[in-house]
Amino acid sequence: MKYGLKISGQNFQFSETVSGLLDLESGGDLSPETTQLFQFDEIGRQAILEMQGTPSMQASRAFHYRFLVKAARIVSFYQAGVTFKSAIWINYDFISDTGYLTLLRAMLGPQSCNELFFEFALGAYGNPDISKTNTVRLIGGVPADLDRAARQWFNQADSFSTRVVGFGYRKDRFVRPGIDTDSLTLAVDDPVFVVREPQNTHDSNAISLLWKNGEKLGYLRRNIAKQVAPLMDQGCLYTASISAVLGHFRADDERVYVRIVKVGGSDKG
């Protein structure tokens, strides 16, 4: 049995081994004799799952299908820059199985797994025990010194996506006039300005995010700003744009995501 998963032009091909496990093969298309199992497009990232072969009632196939559906959602949202939701689903709505986690890691790649780990570890609600999360398993374990590992990662990262916090306090400034009072004027690829606020009385590492008209969207999360602010103070420059805007059924501080790109400056460790 073979499966083909297409996510916005990126192809993944899986096959069942003799023992019934799932193996990730090189990308490519299945033969024309396939059955489409599902297709969805939640945020502009189309995912299509196809199957080649004769279906049977093997119990393992139910688990394979569950993995493929969840992986499609995680990867498509990650591609759209919705890193926090992707990390939440990996940790709380994914099969905690070494084989499936290995397949997901191969689909995402090591750099993406690190980005997802830090997005969750530095910004989850409350104070979760990250040692028991799947994002930790994707990177091979909890770093011995989390703060140092985060500092090194943000220093080396050319870009990263993150959610905008504090947007809920400012949402009314971005509501589109009309019948739908919760439709936002924000759009994917809108430019965003990344601005240091060293005099901020609540956080000397504060970094605000301003929409293209100069209106404040919100801030980088405190634990991420702690890593990025020293780089900006050393002369590192960042530009940004909106990567995703989710619907009103999401919490306000999980609706707007930005892609932040390093455009020059310090490379100090």
pLDDT at 27: 60
Segment holding 237, helix H or strand E: strand 237-245
Tokens 């398993």 belong to which residue? 137
> What's the whole-number mean pLDDT along residues 151-172?
94
Distance in angstroms (rounded) separating the CA atoms of residues 211 and 191: 7
pLDDT at 30: 64
DSSP state of 255: T
Per-residue pLDDT reduced to its tens digit, 125-143: 877 889 989 999 999 999 9
Per-residue pLDDT reduced to its tens digit, 227-263: 999 999 999 999 999 999 998 788 888 999 999 999 9
Per-residue confidence band for 96, with pLDDT thresholds at 50, 70 and 90: confident
pLDDT at 9: 79
Per-residue pLDDT reduced to its tens digit, 182-212: 788 999 999 999 999 999 999 999 999 999 9
CB neighbourhood size of 74 (10 A): 24
pLDDT at 45: 86
Q: Alpha helix (H) ranges present in 7-158?
A: 59-79, 83-92, 98-108, 110-121, 134-139, 146-156
217 has pLDDT over 90: yes
Per-residue confidence band for 119, with pLDDT thresholds at 50, 70 and 90: very high
Distance in angstroms (rounded) separating the CA atoms of residues 74 and 62: 18
Q: Decide if 182 contacts 174 (C-beta within 8 A).
A: no
> What's the whole-number mean pLDDT along residues 159-163?
96
Bridge partner list, 264 = 237
Tokens 């420059």 belong to which residue? 237
Per-residue confidence band for 8, with pLDDT thresholds at 50, 70 and 90: confident
Range in 28-37, 146-155, 164-173, 231-240 with the lowest mean pLDDT = 28-37
153 has pLDDT over 50: yes
Distance in angstroms (rounded) separating the CA atoms of residues 208 and 172: 18
Per-residue pLDDT reduced to its tens digit, 31-90: 667 788 888 888 888 898 888 876 665 656 888 889 999 999 999 999 999 999 999 999
Per-residue confidence band for 10, with pLDDT thresholds at 50, 70 and 90: confident
pLDDT at 187: 93
Q: How many CA atoms lie within 13 A of 193 on its CB side?
A: 10
What mean pLDDT, rounded, does the chain reach?
Answer: 89
Per-residue confidence band for 269, with pLDDT thresholds at 50, 70 and 90: very low
Q: Alpha helix (H) ranges present in 109-238?
A: 110-121, 134-139, 146-156, 222-233
